[in-house]
Amino acid sequence: ARGGEPLATIETGKAAAVCRSAAGGEGVAVGGKGADPSVWSLEAGKAVWRARNLPNDELDLAVPIWLTDLKVAEGGRLLATGHGFVASRLRGEVRLYDTSAQRKPVARVVAPLGEEAISAVAVSADGRHVFAGSVSGHLARLDARMSLKPVERYRANAGSIREIALHPTLPLLACAGLDRKMRLYNWGYGGGRWSAERRTGPVASVYLKQRLTACLLSSEAGTAAEVRALRLRGAGDDEEEADVGEMLSELPEAGAPEGGEEEEQRQPTGGAPGTLPSASKRRAADAAPSSSAL
């Protein structure tokens, strides 16, 4: 903006809860609750592509639109969207559009992370990989060549994921969420040393004290000291998970009696330790008059 004034203003006509740069910076992609994704030209000020909603359901009612996030691939042709309301349930859905081919999604998957809403998505530059995060912290990589089937899940997230960012040239993924941590993953597809170092846990993490809703990855290379410091910070997630697993393994099994109660049940009343009184002795004890009766 020049002098605080916007360079362009677009009236989308519907709520635009999500807005991303598209067409190499010459356009924007918008969408939201009740608004299907659309791509707008900044120069013309009008929509150049609009998605079409799914066909009506079995009751001939319009399928609700609840778009929670969208991302445009580097080439500007592919667009991935995340949804939070599907078939009258919070099941979540991920769709992949080809804006140069058609208005309907070329691939879609319902509930890829379980019965929960999708809160963040990202798509690789070649369009082969789509990443999805959920409101409960699940994060997975979906393969577009397999109808967006989840092929790899990433761990250590404890809160709702609000943003997923991909590095422009390296197979690195950053995510931020409500657990106040920004985590960096190496999804390492494509061979070379990145594939050899790939793992489902984070390679780095930073605690940032605030609930996070956005993050970006810079194309600039960091110094060796900065990379080493991030790796040391990321090792803490594995140690925390190991400590939690060790504590859970020490808990008693459900339904098992406590140690003191078990010893009391094993110790009989009267007689030698470890032996039970006979039936005749029990009957004689029941028949004997009590001291209060005398």
User: Is the torsion defined by CA of 106, 111, 113, 118 positive or negative?
Assistant: positive
Query: Side chain identity at 160, as an amino acid letter?
Result: S
Q: What is the pLDDT of residue 257?
A: 53
Distance, CA of 155 to CA of 191 (rounded, Å): 22
Query: Side chain identity at 122, as an amino acid letter?
Result: A
Q: What is the pLDDT of residue 277?
A: 52
Distance, CA of 53 to CA of 93 (rounded, Å): 13
Q: What is the pLDDT of residue 133?
A: 95
Phi and psi at 246, nearest 5°, equal -65, -40
Q: What is the pLDDT of residue 272?
A: 47
Q: What is the pLDDT of residue 83?
A: 92
Q: Which of 128, 22, 18 is nearest to 84 (CA)?
A: 18
Q: What is the pLDDT of residue 43?
A: 86
Distance, CA of 117 to CA of 131 (rounded, Å): 14
Residue ranges of the chain with pLDDT lower than 50? Answer: 234-235, 239-248, 251, 258-275, 291-294
Q: What is the pLDDT of residue 84?
A: 86
Q: Which of 153, 155, 158 is nearest to 143 (CA)?
A: 153
Query: Side chain identity at 214, as an amino acid letter?
Result: A
